[in-house]
A = this chain, B = another copy of it.
Amino acid sequence: MKKFIIGVDLGGTKISTAAALPSGRILAVDTIPTLAHLGVNKVIDRIASSVIYICKKADIKLSEVRCIGIGAPGPVDAVKGTVLNPPNLKGWKKVYLRDILSKRLKKKVVLENDANCAAIAELKFGAGKKFSDFVYSTISTGIGGGIVIGGKLYRGNTGSAGEIGHSVIDINGPKCSCGLPGHLEGMAAGPAIAKRSGISPEQLNALAKKGNKKALKEIRFTGKLIGIGFSNVVNILNPEAIIVGGGISNLGKPLFDSIKKTVKVRALAPVKIVPAKLKKNVGVIGAVAICL
């Protein structure tokens, strides 16, 4: 009886692995450090071990698993099953992760960009359940996205659709992690907020909750920048909703109010700005969901 599903969320700092029922319901999750500095082969060893371990933890046999889904930092070529050259996984360059793991574990393996995984997770189990056309955006160290059209993930021509963080909103703006100036990511993701305010987004959040006006102003300014980026997405794609996840979305009401206010003025069409439902485990739930 092969029916269970395993999801792996491969990140720059940690690997989360889950075993799930055929419905997608999670049985067990485990998280280990990636130890990316040990190199590609060691990390692949760690992924394989985490799959074996999660089977034990969930009391299932690997022989009963019908599919392993992996979410990896973009860019990913989902068709060829390769991790290309993610800024967050140094040393990885066109790694045929899908086929390597499939051979090693003798299982069907599916590979997808992590933001796309999260978009599918929200579609199947989260805030995206009621929309057929939406954009999912994760705002944390970077700003990524996944596009759902007609209830399906839209990958574009070469699998890189949804990279909304790398859209210019200020031609004279500061440099992004990718090296180009004025990108939404380079102006509104975690590191940009920290650089501008001098403190971490978490500290900013704590201050804002105590009513600190400077902190609130900084959060609202971040919301304005995100709102401008989202308005571009709305004017180009006209989705029904934008679902917002990632650590920065924890800045909560002042952030969302500012995003909504900006979008209302700047977007040509109405759009619902909705917080993501799945929090901590969205990546691994998405890695399971791409097998469904």
Contact = CB atoms under 8 A, between A and B. Distances in A.
21 contacts: A75-B268, A149-B154, A156-B269, A157-B238, A157-B269, A158-B238, A158-B269, A159-B238, A160-B235, A160-B268, A161-B237, A161-B238, A163-B238, A163-B268, A168-B228, A170-B182, A172-B172, A180-B266, A236-B236, A236-B237, A237-B237
A16 to B, nearest CB: 26
A46 interface: no
Contacts of A266: 168, 180
A170 B171 CA distance: 5
Contacts of A17: none
A167 B156 CA distance: 20
Interface string A162-198: 1110111111110000001010000000000000000
A240 interface: yes
A155 interface: yes
Grouping DSSP codes into helix (H, G, I), strand (E, B) and loop, the A interface class, with mixed when no group exceeds half, is loop
A236 B168 CA distance: 11
A81 B155 CA distance: 31
A94 to B, nearest CB: 15
Interface residues of A, number: 43
A266 B178 CA distance: 10
Contact of A239 (B157, B167, B233): B157
A238 B160 contact: yes
A270 B156 CA distance: 11
Contacts of A75: 268
A239 B161 CA distance: 8
Nearest to A170: B171
A169 B166 contact: no
A238 B149 CA distance: 14
